[in-house]
Amino acid sequence: MKAHTLVTGFGPFPGMADNPTSHLVRALGANPPPGVDALLLATEWAVCDTLAEIVAGYRTVIMFGVAGTAHRIRYERVSLPTASQNPDAAGRTADAPPSRSRRTVFDVDRLADTARAAGFPVVTSASAGAYICNASYGAALAANPRTLFVHVPQARPYGPLSQRGLERHAAWLLAEIGD
C-alpha cells in the first residue's frame, strides 16, 4: 500500500547541533502509522529543488522544523518570498528567495484551537521565517497545497514540549489531518 501522508523533519544546521525534528521523524519512521512515510531532510537550501517532486505523490504533507527561540508549537499559515543569507548545513547560502507567497489550504486557526483543546501548546504564525523552513515550505506548497509546516521549540526536559510530548503532538496531528 502506498503511503498517502508524508512527515518530514530536518537534520542539524549551524547553531542547532541537535534538531528535535530529527528525533521526531526517526521515531515516526521506526514505527510508522499505516499510510505514513517519514523522511529526514538535509538542512540544505538544495533540498528545496527536490521537494516538489517528492511531495506531489502524497495527499497530505506535514513538515516539522525547529524554531530555537520558540516557547510553543507554531502552525505556519504561509511561506513568504524571502530568504536569509545564513549558511546551511553544507555551508552554502540561498541562491534566490521563493518566487512568491504560498498559503496552506488547512484552516490553521481551527486546527490550533483543536490542538489547544487536546492539551498541546500551539499558536499560529504568519511567517515561516527566512531560512530553509520557509523556502522548503514554499517549494512543497507549490506542488501540494495540503501541506502544513509546524515549527517546534527545542525539546524541554518534561511536559508537552519534551521530545516525547512533541512526538505525541505529531501523532495527534497525523490522526487529525492525515488520511
- Per-residue model confidence as pLDDT tens digits over 99-123: 899 999 999 999 999 999 999 999 9
Burial pattern 93-102, b for ≥16 Cβ within 10 A else e, equals: ebeeebeeeb
CA dihedral 49, 51, 52, 58 (to 10 degrees): 170
Confirm if 23 and 44 have CB atoms less than 8 A apart.
no
CATH dotted code for 5-177: 3.40.630.20
Confirm if 23 and 16 have CB atoms less than 8 A apart.
no
pLDDT in tens, the chain (179 residues): 467 999 999 999 998 988 999 999 999 989 888 999 999 999 999 999 999 999 999 999 999 999 988 999 999 999 999 999 999 999 999 988 778 999 999 999 999 999 999 999 999 999 999 999 999 999 999 999 999 999 999 999 999 999 999 999 999 999 999 76
Looking at residue 13, the DSSP 8-state letter turns out to be B
